[in-house]
Amino acid sequence: MNERRLGRSLVVSAIGLGCMGMSDFYAARNAGEAAATIRHAAERGITLFDTADSSGIGANEELVGRALAPFRDRVAIATKFGNVRDPDGTFRGVCGRPDYVRRSCEASLKRLGVGTIDLYYQQRVDPDVPIEETVGAMAELVRQGKIRYLGLSEAAPATIRRAHAVHPIAAVQSEYSLWTRDVEAAVLPTLRELGIGFVAYSPLGRGFLTGAFKSPDDIPEGDSRRSQPRFQGENFARNLTLVGILEEMARRLKCTPGQLALAFVLAQGSDIVPIPGTSRRAHLDENLAALAVPLSAADLGKLNRAMPPGSASGTRYAAAQMASLNR
- CB contact at 8 A, 294 and 287: no
Rg over alpha carbons for the chain, rounded to the nearest Å, is 19
Quick one: three-class SS letters along 30-56?
Answer: CHHHHHHHHHHHHHCCCCEEECCCCHH
Residue 126 to residue 113: CA distance in whole angstroms = 27
Q: Is the pLDDT assigned to residue 24 strictly greater than 80?
A: no
Q: How far is CA 273 from CA 14, 140, 164, 194, 229, in A?
A: 6, 27, 20, 17, 26
Long-range contacts of 190-196 (CB under 8 A, 24+ apart): 190/157, 190/160, 190/161, 191/160, 191/271, 192/269, 192/271, 194/160, 194/161, 194/164, 194/169, 195/7, 195/8, 196/6, 196/7, 196/160, 196/164, 196/169, 196/170, 196/171, 196/172
> How would residue 27 be classed by pLDDT, with cut points 50, 70 and 90?
low
- CB contact at 8 A, 170 and 118: no
Q: HSE (CB half, 13 Å, CA atoms) of 197?
A: 27
Task: Report the Cα–Cα distance between both ends of the chain, in Å, rounded.
Answer: 35
Task: List domains and CATH numbers for the chain.
Answer: 3-323 (3.20.20.100)
Q: How far is CA 222 from CA 26, 79, 219, in A?
A: 7, 25, 9
- CB contact at 8 A, 13 and 45: yes
Residue 26 to residue 278: CA distance in whole angstroms = 10
pLDDT tens-place string over residues 192-206: 999 999 999 999 999
pLDDT tens-place string over residues 78-120: 999 999 988 887 888 899 999 999 999 999 999 999 999 999 9
Strand partners, 181: none
Q: Which one is predicted more confidently, 325 or 307? A: 307
- What is the per-residue pLDDT for 244? 93
pLDDT tens-place string over residues 279-303: 899 999 999 999 999 899 999 999 9
In 154-226 the beta strands, taken as DSSP E runs, fall at 169-175, 197-201
Calculate mean pLDDT across residues 12-38.
86
Angle, helices 98-112 vs 59-68, to 10°: value is 40
- What is the per-residue pLDDT for 28? 66
DSSP state of 267: T
- What is the per-residue pLDDT for 92? 86
Calculate mean pLDDT across residues 15-35.
83
Give buried/exposed letters for 28-56 (b at 16+ CB in 10 A, else e): ebebeebbebbbbbbeeebbbbbbbbbbb
pLDDT tens-place string over residues 242-271: 999 999 999 999 999 999 999 999 999 999
- CB contact at 8 A, 276 and 289: no
Q: Which one is predicted more confidently, 188 or 26? A: 188
- What is the per-residue pLDDT for 149? 98
Residue 304 to residue 297: CA distance in whole angstroms = 10
pLDDT tens-place string over residues 29-77: 678 889 999 999 999 999 999 999 988 888 999 999 999 999 999 999 9
Q: How far is CA 264 from CA 64, 137, 169, 179, 186, in A?
A: 28, 36, 25, 11, 19
Full strand arrangement of the beta sheet holding 76-81: 17-18, 48-50, 76-81, 117-122, 147-153, 169-175, 197-201, 272-274
pLDDT tens-place string over residues 123-136: 999 999 999 999 99
- What is the per-residue pLDDT for 223? 82
pLDDT tens-place string over residues 133-178: 999 999 999 999 999 999 999 999 999 999 999 999 999 999 999 9
DSSP state of 311: -
Q: Is the pLDDT assigned to residue 25 strictly greater than 90?
A: no
Residue 206 to residue 211: CA distance in whole angstroms = 11
Percent of the chain with pLDDT over 70: 98
